[in-house]
Amino acid sequence: MTFWTQKTLAQLSNTEWESLCDGCGRCCTVRLRRANLRLLTRLGCPLLSPETGQCSDYANRHERMAHCKALNPENVGDWLPRTCAYRLVKEGKPLPEWHHLVCGDRERVHEGYSVRGWVVPMEPGMDPMKHLVGHEEG
Ligand code: SF4
Ligand code: SF4
């Protein structure tokens, strides 16, 4: 069932909404806006686990981290990574072949698309500009 091609984000049930997240963890990394570029860094939220690539305290994330933004259909936008499933659906684009709803395997995202294994939890004093890994336009 390809509910994500048949409904808008606002029409998704809670279960469908939750299932859309691919677990990449990229929205939890530090990205810097410079003119029309978004600079991508290997630094992540202090709660983002390098071992799992997941939030280590998802249930309490908003209480623990003031910057942690709750996604909703209205605020999904270009502040999210280009591969974010919510952004892709909102923009009417297809999910990538490695998304679990497409391939049926939740581990595929960790074969080069998630932050697992390379993200570094941000600590006070760290300079994101010294941890750049790439950029996105727009
Ligand atoms: S607290 Fe929020 S930003 Fe930080 S790792 Fe968890 S979900 Fe991501
Ligand atoms: S970038 Fe999007 S798909 Fe990836 S973890 Fe964040 S919300 Fe989920």
34-84 pLDDT tens trace = 999 999 999 999 999 999 999 999 999 999 999 999 999 999 999 999 999
Ligand nearest to the CA of 58: 1
Per-residue pLDDT band at 1 (split at 50, 70, 90): low
Whether 71 lines ligand 1, by a CB cut-off of 6 Å, is no
Domain that includes residue 102, residue range: 3-121
Q: pTM of this prediction?
A: 0.94
Q: How close is the Cα of 114 to the center of ligand 2, in Å?
A: 9
Ligand nearest to the CA of 95: 2
Residues of the chain above pLDDT 70, percent: 99
Q: Which residues in the chain belong to E strands, given as ranges?
A: 29-34, 37-44, 120-121, 132-137
pLDDT at residue 17, as a whole number: 98
Task: Using the structure block, give the residue that is written with the tokens 């469908």.
Answer: 16
- Phi and psi of 96, rounded to 5°? -70, 160
Task: Indicate whether 58 belongs to any domain.
Answer: yes
The closest residue, in CA terms, to atom 8 on ligand 2 is 21
Query: By the 8 A CB rule, do 20 and 12 touch?
Result: yes
- How crowded is residue 72: how many other Cβ atoms within 10 Å of its Cβ? 11
Per-residue pLDDT band at 12 (split at 50, 70, 90): very high
Task: Using the structure block, give the residue that is written with the tokens 């279960």.
Answer: 15
Whether 47 lines ligand 1, by a CB cut-off of 6 Å, is yes
The closest residue, in CA terms, to atom 7 on ligand 2 is 21
Per-residue pLDDT band at 10 (split at 50, 70, 90): very high
Q: How close is the Cα of 40 to the center of ligand 1, in Å?
A: 16
> With the C-alpha atoms ordered 108, 111, 112, 114, is the resulting torsion angle positive or negative?
positive
> With the C-alpha atoms ordered 82, 25, 116, 121, is the resulting torsion angle positive or negative?
positive
Whether 27 lines ligand 2, by a CB cut-off of 6 Å, is yes
User: For the chain, what is the domain count?
Assistant: 1
Query: By the 8 A CB rule, do 131 and 120 touch?
Result: yes
Task: Indicate whether 133 belongs to any domain.
Answer: no
Residue 89 scores a pLDDT above 70: yes
Residue 137 scores a pLDDT above 90: no
Task: Using the structure block, give the residue that is written with the tokens 């963890």.
Answer: 25
- Phi and psi of 55, rounded to 5°? -65, 130
Q: What is the mean pLDDT of the chain?
A: 96
Ligand nearest to the CA of 9: 2
